[in-house]
């Protein structure tokens, strides 16, 4: 039982760490994209081709990051449910590790 819960905890911890790091990365890319887009109302009409290319790259990176964040949120929810379900099935189980 201990090894099962430990594996679930490890997977949950890894997913939460990835979610945290990826969230920061997506925020950084959003900030960089905002800087390169400019603030003129007609900026998109007069944008240099290189700037348009960078905007396309930023858009793809943002979309991929947001998709993965959504997947991670679902995965984390599943791991938490799995942990709770396992503990509810074995109410007499006491972990040797703190915070469980």
Q: Over 60: is that where the pLDDT of 40 sits?
A: no
- Cβ-contact 90, 1 below 8 angstroms: yes
Kindly state the average pLDDT of the residues 17-22: 97
Residue 56: Cβ within 10 Å count: 10
Kindly state the average pLDDT of the residues 78-87: 94
Kindly state the average pLDDT of the residues 16-24: 97
| pLDDT-derived band at 42, boundaries 50, 70, 90 | low
| pLDDT-derived band at 70, boundaries 50, 70, 90 | very high
Kindly state the average pLDDT of the residues 50-59: 81
- pLDDT the model gives residue 53: 83
Distance CA 2, CA 98 (A): 13
């Amino acid at each position: 039982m201990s090894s099962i819960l430990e594996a679930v905890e490890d997977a949950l911890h890894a997913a939460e760490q990835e979610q945290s790091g990826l969230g920061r990365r997506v925020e950084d890319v959003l900030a960089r994209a905002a800087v390169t887009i400019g603030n003129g109302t007609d900026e998109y009409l007069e944008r240099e081709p290189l700037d348009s290319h960078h905007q396309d790259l930023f858009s793809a990176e943002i979309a991929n990051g947001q998709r993965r964040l959504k997947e991670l949120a679902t995965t984390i929810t599943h791991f938490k449910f799995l942990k709770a379900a396992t503990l509810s099935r074995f109410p007499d189980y006491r972990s040797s590790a703190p915070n469980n």
